[in-house]
Structure 1
Amino acid sequence: MMRSAVAVWKGSPAIGEGLVTTTSGVMSNVLYSFGSSSGNEPCTSPSEMLAASIASCTSLVLVQELAKDHIHHDSVRTEAELTVNEVKGRWEITNIRLIITAVAPDADEAEFHKASRAARQRCPISRALNVPIEVSTKLETAEHVA
């Protein structure tokens, strides 16, 4: 399986404009910049797209892990927080924090943590990165769901 995207940047770093398109067509000429917004137009950034990639990948792999372990879940939510710092004159992603929340009424906390760790290790996006990735989990069971 191969996935691809095309990113085009026109202009200088300060006042230029970037557009990114995926071959699936889900993202088509999406505006991107170095920061999270450029001027008055909302746009994304490479680090935000990476956060979306690792969050969605982790959720998908966790759903597979839960199914493999016969753990019923109503929902899985993964939030990815990327820390970007300047290190020796270069911008680097220095840490990624995954906050995973699942609604699984009959799940055991230990089973859920084990499945979450496995998802973090199996996610191909996580494995492609050379950066520390922290995982925190929250399991909502029948007693905790309102």
Structure 2
Amino acid sequence: MPIRTASARWQGNLTEGSGTVHTGKGGLTGNYSFKSRFEEGEGTNPEELIGAAHASCFSMALSKQLADAGATDTSVETTAKVHFDKTDAGMTVTRIDLETVGQVPGLDEAEFTKLAEAAKENCPISRLLSPGAQITLNARLG
């Protein structure tokens, strides 16, 4: 399997500096800063990037679960809400709430929920993050 690469460059001090992140071969490029991470400033932040990674990984894992069960999805849309909270250990990602809506003709809600739970357990990013953060799931057909 290939090794995936991302990079970040930071310039300046913590509160007034800024940085740029890049993924892979021209995939994503974004600016980040103290304000985009700890306030409501423009740009992205590491927690949003974790959310994007988790949402995309989960969507693909759910699509696989559906295919393995003989169902064909027309779309899976997932949002990851990453909770970044102050704890005794410092700022910590404490929870990620996955919200997914699937368009899966011929599949009932109960089966979709069951397959979504399996995807949550088997998604490589969920497996990476679950020892340190609680992961919740709200799955529904749209």
Normalization by structure 2: what TM-score? 0.89
**Cα distance in 2 between the residues matched to 1:34 and 1:56:** 25
Partner in structure 2 of residue 143 of structure 1: none
Q: Deviations over 1:102-127 (max 9, x none)?
A: 11121022221111011111111111
Cα distance, 1:35 vs. partner?
Answer: 4.3
Give the SS at the match of 1:106.
coil
**Cα pair distance change 1:113/1:35, threshold 3 Å:** farther
The residue that corresponds to 1:127 in the other structure is 127
Q: What residue in structure 2 maps to residue 101 of structure 1?
A: 101
Q: State yes or no: 1:9 paired with 2:15.
A: no
C-alpha distance in 2, partners of 1:116/1:80? Answer: 14
Q: TM-score, normalised by structure 1?
A: 0.86
Give the percent of matched residue pairs that are identical in Structure 1 and Structure 2. Answer: 36
Q: Note the alpha carbon deviations across 1:55-106, whole angstroms, 9 max, x for none.
A: 0110011111111111122211111001111112610011110011111121
Q: Is the helix fraction higher in 1 or 2?
A: 2
Match of 1:53 in 2: 53
Gaps of 5+ in 1: 141-146
1:139 partnered with 2:133? no
Flag structure 2 segments of 5+ consecutive residues without an equivalent. Answer: none
Give the whole-Å Cα distance in 2 for the aligned partners of 1:85 and 1:137: 24
Considering only aligned residues, what root-mean-square deviation do their CA atoms show, in Å?
1.9
Larger of the two Rg values belongs to structure = 1
Report the AA paired with residue 21 of structure 1.
H
